[in-house]
Structure 1
Amino acid sequence: MKRPSLGAVLLLLAVALPCSASASVPTPARLRDSGVLRVALDATYPPMEFLQEGKPVGFDVDLAQALARRLGVTAEIIVMDWDGILAGLNSGRYDVIISTMNITPERQQQADFVEYARMSQVFVCRRGVSVRTQEELSGRVVAVQVNTTSHRWLEKLQGQGIIPRDIKPFPGMVEAFAALKSRQAEVLVTDEAVGRYFALRDDTFSVTGQAMQPEPIGIAIDQRHPELTAAISAALEESRRDGELRRLSEHWFGGELGQLSPPPRGFWDFSRAVALPRVVKGLGITLQLTLGSGLLGIALGLLVSLAGLSRARGLRGAARVYISLFRGTPLLLQILFIFFALPLMIDVRLGAMTAGIVALSLNAAAYLAEIFRAGIESIDKGQMEAARALGMSYELAMRRIILPQTFRRLLPPVVNELAALSKDTSLVMVIALPELLYETKQIAGTYLRPEVYAWAALGYLLIVLTLSVLARRLERRLEARGA
């Protein structure tokens, strides 16, 4: 089921609430009489304003609806072509323009403006690549949308001695981001709103730096209606005070426009603000991989070891083949084979998490099977013979007599295998599963902060120490029960 946008929720509130009750800002008489605030925009600039299923959506649309609600009216969105949008305002076709319009001296001669945000140009890179300053563009392949502020800025840079290896102008922003994603470009220069929107919704991208100082964007209002300018200004200020404008920005961009700042310099500040949230998320996935593949590996390893000790020649042969196959090939190869090759061979498509757990479980089971076999064979054979003499079946004697003693003896080597397994989980980064080391590596590459690898080391150490403590407690319980 499709979630309603924030704009839709605001529109419903505007309709549901009586106009007199919803208007906490003085409403100009001309709006009060019509009950409508006519808002023009050029719906070709996602995420600020664009068409979705034929309807205008975006940050500016949500803002228009929020302001109209505060004025006690509803917003009527009028889609206009950019070239004639100011002329339409001056001819009275609509009341305001909310369409990411830069406030310039030339435009201020044609309309009044109420500033609602500041927007800069930013550098967008793939995760693992970082361009922070304009000097770092030298020798890079740079993507940009043709005939934009970013494009003109890049051309001026070349006159300052900053020479990119290649500038690739694309007709639209979608094509420019596609080029960056497919590695046809190393960095993209674009408006902050666009860069942050795509980075928020696609982990491939990261906003790594600010290309230009933020410039003001504003709501254009007909100069013949100063009372409307005052009302819009008051409504906007009220939305700032109660946090609605900030919430809209966080919804669309992950933060306020114009507030892009470089990551903190100090290790602890950087870790708290940037690294630790992602490291903790990666640690959670590593724990899932360790526990999931560990439990499955123990169960499968026990079955394989019992098959290897079986009197049936076929089961013994299958167990030997299994153990030889998974101990004789690299775990990395097994992960790649299960994730990439199986879909082509038998049309079995596994997600990254499932493929990682399957590969790790199958590999761990081969090693655990040998541990279990050695443990079972270390139990005096006389115990099995005595159990059989008392009338127990082989399966019952194994379950009641042999295996309990085996588990007690094998607890340390099994824990060692699980500890090794927790570190082997780092190999699943080759299938882009964001476990602990993958996240740390991405942070180190994106922000050029290799010291964050210390957090990965601490995470793996924490897992191993926790397993060791739990194993010692279990061992003491088993000893007490045996006594």
Structure 2
Amino acid sequence: MTARSTRCTTVAKTRTSRLAAVAAIAVAGSMLLTACGDQTEGAKKPEGGASKAPVSTAPLFSKLPADIQKAGVIKVGTDATYAPMEFKKGKDIVGVDPDIAAALSKQLGVEFVFESGTFDTLLTALPTGRTDIVMSSMTDTKARQEGLDDKGKKTGTGVDFVDYFSASTGILVKKGNPENIKSLDDLCGKKLAVQRGTTYEQAAKDQAAKCEKDGKPKLTFESFPTDAEAQTRVKAGGAVADLNDSPVAAYIAQTAGGGKDFDAVANKSDAGYFGIAVDKKDTQLRDALKEALDAIIKDGTYKAALDKWNAGSGAIPAAKINGGS
């Protein structure tokens, strides 16, 4: 099924905090770090010099790796162009993923600081230490777990995923659905627009091959750096549809042009997981995130974050590690 892909090439063996360290608030002789603060692009590196490791009364603070405890920050790579999951509102990055991160922050006692980049570069930033995790509506796939490209070639060590959301393919079409698109098979003989580096680019390739195998007219597609550009192509009539994640397609159809630009068609048979990507070596961080996610599922803050953005249909009953296929 779903979502988005891979960044960078610099090697760094130690984590560095290029984002502003979270402020510590004195409470009864201990330090409590909370919430998901300034989620802005291009945060500055902290000034040099030794920093004292913060102490937190958050339930799962002790589960985090020592370097993250000391920094007080989890650096999050995202592509903030994907409403309602993650997008910019002024200088802030808002949406489903930042709100889930805010809930996780209260369990872990550190700040989640989001920095936006191009989707197809996000995963390669993890081994460099530029980011600690990727949280960007990224579909958990075996290929990403194993570090394989779309041709099955090994390009890295791969990542582990902490799965937190379920979504299916959404087909975004012009308002009124003039081509009467009801499924992926209806796209044979048509032209698609997709975001580059996403699983939907691969889905377009796979559907094109299926159309040919079934003896149907040829499907063609054009890839763009952002999904916004793919949407523009559909709106202008240069493509009949944009493949997307179901909650995103539904949100775009509801909001773009006051709800007058697009319709969304859900293909519910191919549901899959979005996961928080973590470098393979960071098993302690991965396990802490899973435990925190299970905690917010149990206490209801997870579902509240989804419902705020009308994305409750994607809720899962428990966190999974590498549940994708």
Structure 2 length-normalised TM? 0.61
Match of 2:136, SS state, is strand
Q: Which residue is equivalent to 1:251? A: 308
Q: Which residue is equivalent to 1:40? A: 77
Which of 186, 208, 219 matches 1:136?
A: 186
Which of 132, 145, 153 matches 2:194?
A: 145
Q: CA deviation at 1:37?
A: 1.8
Q: Which residue is equivalent to 1:481? A: none
Which of 197, 212, 215 matches 2:251?
A: 197
Q: CA deviation at 1:113?
A: 1.7
Q: CA deviation at 1:144?
A: 1.9
Q: Distance in 1 between matches of 2:254 and 2:57?
A: 36
Which of 274, 283, 289 matches 1:226?
A: 283
Q: Is the 8 A contact 1:35 1:74 kept in 2?
A: yes
Q: CA deviation at 1:150?
A: 4.2
In the alignment, structure 1 residue 102 sits paired with structure 2 residue 124: no
Quick one: which amino acid aligns to residue 76 of structure 1?
Answer: V
Q: CA deviation at 1:115?
A: 1.0
State percent identity of aligned pairs. Answer: 26
* Deviation string, structure 1 residues 238-261 (Cα, Å, up to 9, x no partner): 2222333333333335443389xx
Q: Distance in 2 between matches of 1:180 and 1:82?
A: 20
Q: CA deviation at 1:70?
A: 1.7
Quick one: which amino acid aligns to residue 174 of structure 1?
Answer: A
Q: Distance in 2 between matches of 1:118 and 1:165?
A: 31
Quick one: which amino acid aligns to residue 194 of structure 2?
Answer: Q
Which of 160, 168, 173 matches 1:120?
A: 168
Q: Which residue is equivalent to 1:412? A: none
Q: Is the 8 A contact 1:144 1:190 kept in 2?
A: no
Q: Distance in 1 between matches of 2:279 and 2:86?
A: 21
**Inter-CA distance 67–176: structure 2 relative to 1 (3 Å threshold):** same
Which of 159, 167, 171 matches 1:111?
A: 159
Q: Which residue is equivalent to 1:363? A: none
Q: Is the 8 A contact 1:134 1:211 kept in 2?
A: no
Q: Is the 8 A contact 1:142 1:188 kept in 2?
A: no
Taking CA–CA contacts closer than 8 Å with sequence separation of 6 or more, which of the two structures ends up with the larger relative contact order? 2
Cα-Cα RMSD: 3.6
* Deviation string, structure 1 residues 91-150 (Cα, Å, up to 9, x no partner): 3333222123332334324222211123322223345435333343356x5542264234
Q: Is the 8 A contact 2:172 2:263 kept in 1?
A: yes
Quick one: which amino acid aligns to residue 241 of structure 1?
Answer: K
Match of 2:70, SS state, is helix
In the alignment, structure 1 residue 28 sits paired with structure 2 residue 64: yes
Q: Is the 8 A contact 2:36 2:98 kept in 1?
A: no
Unaligned runs of 5+ in 1: 1-10, 260-483
Quick one: which amino acid aligns to residue 58 of structure 1?
Answer: G
Q: CA deviation at 1:219?
A: 1.1
Which of 193, 203, 212 matches 1:159?
A: 212
**Inter-CA distance 34–160: structure 2 relative to 1 (3 Å threshold):** same
Name the count of aligned residue pairs: 246
Which of 101, 110, 114 matches 1:77?
A: 114
Q: CA deviation at 1:29?
A: 5.1
Q: Is the 8 A contact 1:39 1:75 kept in 2?
A: yes
Q: Which residue is equivalent to 1:173? A: 227
**Inter-CA distance 53–189: structure 2 relative to 1 (3 Å threshold):** same
Which of 105, 127, 130 matches 1:68?
A: 105
Structure 1 length-normalised TM? 0.43
Q: Distance in 2 between matches of 1:185 and 1:87?
A: 31
Q: CA deviation at 1:26?
A: 4.9
Q: Point out the structure with the larger helix share.
A: 1
